[in-house]
Amino acid sequence: MGSASPESGTEQVQEIDVSDPAQSAPHSLTSAAGESQQRIRAVLDDATAVPRETAPAPFDVPRETDPLAMDARVLPGDVSRETEDDDLPIAIEARRAVQVLNPGHNTFPRPAKRRVMCVANQKGGVGKTTTTVNLAVALALHGSRVMVIDLDPQGNASTGLSVDHRAGVPSTYDVLVDGIPLAEATVAVDGVPNLYCVPATIDLAGAEIELVSVVARENRLRRAIDAFPADIDYIFIDCPPSLGLLTVNALVAAREVLIPIQCEYYALEGLGQLLRNVELVKAHLNNDVQITTILLTMYDGRTKLADQVAAEVRGHFGDTVLEAVIPRSVRVSEAPGFGQSVITYDPGSRGSTSYLQAAREIAERGAAVPGH
């Protein structure tokens, strides 16, 4: 056996070769994060045509916690931020549920005149329908009279409100193509006072082709809404994931555009096309329409990407972005399977209270703007 080296038995400090990628993983991760943020910023610069030099600090929220900064108006009391959605103490969850379901009939500020909001984003799966349904239910439970117009042939908003949308029932198809009054297709939503829905049937899938030869086809929905006699505070129009004639009808009918943006990179691609279409409609068909609200959805606090997207969207769109953020939640996904909104399905969940906070912000912002 050979003799031991002089260094044997002593603790050695290993030198790291920074040229070796395997030994410089932290640096690589930092570079990758920087590249990701640059790509996010670049796609938003392109969408808005307004480049940003610096990004705001990301949410100061620990990865494992609720991204909502728990508005005390939604949930009174000192609640730990570390509380998980599926591990809430019963008393806390019950208190949240009471706030959401509003048995005391507390009201949000009501607008001075009807607000017509188009919920649009040509990217599928970003939460358009979920946002439409839950904002509508939250506002209706807090004193507003609300209508949901389902303009998506899939009829998911109708499903979420448990409204019959089988082929043959009066629907948005009949309003657009046959010109029936909106009131004839409007039904009350069971279990939620002051909430109404105009359902969509599969017939709506062919409406764009059938409307091609119709004069002023872009104004069909607007004329129907203008002729609707009932006292309604909010009309939410749930658009299909496209920028076709149905979405153009919604943009022409609306005064406001609400854009849900999923906190992921793919959700940002194509945003510029939507913004340009809104400007085209504003220039040629509806001078009153404007983007008033952006809502960040499907926020996953465990990922750095969600923080980057949220920070860049806020940096580009400023106060248009609601403070409320919708977390990725199993409860939100489960609710439509029971024909309910998450507000009524699990009122104590984070998804429910976050949509309630978003609804409150929309109501308060509208009340603060003259003419709303």
Q: Give the pLDDT confidence of 135-149 residue by residue, as tens digits.
A: 999 999 999 999 999
Q: Tokens representing 95? A: 């208190």
Q: Tokens representing 211? A: 């409307």
HSE (side-chain half, CA atoms, 13 Å) at 164: 9
Q: 6 falls in which pLDDT band (50, 70, 90)?
A: very low
Measured distance CA(25)–CA(338) in Å, rounded:
46
Region 241-258: mean pLDDT is 93
Measured distance CA(341)–CA(141) in Å, rounded:
12
Q: 348 falls in which pLDDT band (50, 70, 90)?
A: confident
Q: Is the pLDDT of residue 94 over 80?
A: no
The mean of the pLDDT values for the chain is 81
Measured distance CA(211)–CA(216) in Å, rounded:
9
Measured distance CA(306)–CA(264) in Å, rounded:
6
Q: 341 falls in which pLDDT band (50, 70, 90)?
A: very high
The single residue listed with the structure tokens 């062919």 is 206
Q: Is the pLDDT of residue 12 over 70?
A: no
Nearest Cα to 149, choosing from 268, 238, 266? 238
pLDDT at 371: 59
Q: Is the pTM of this model over 0.85?
A: no
Summarised one tens digit per residue, pLDDT across range 298-329 is 998 888 888 888 888 998 899 999 999 999 98
Q: Is the pLDDT of residue 33 over 50?
A: yes
pLDDT at 93: 66
Measured distance CA(289)–CA(117) in Å, rounded:
9
Name residue 295's beta-bridge partners: 260
Summarised one tens digit per residue, pLDDT across range 189-220 is 999 999 999 999 999 998 989 998 888 899 99
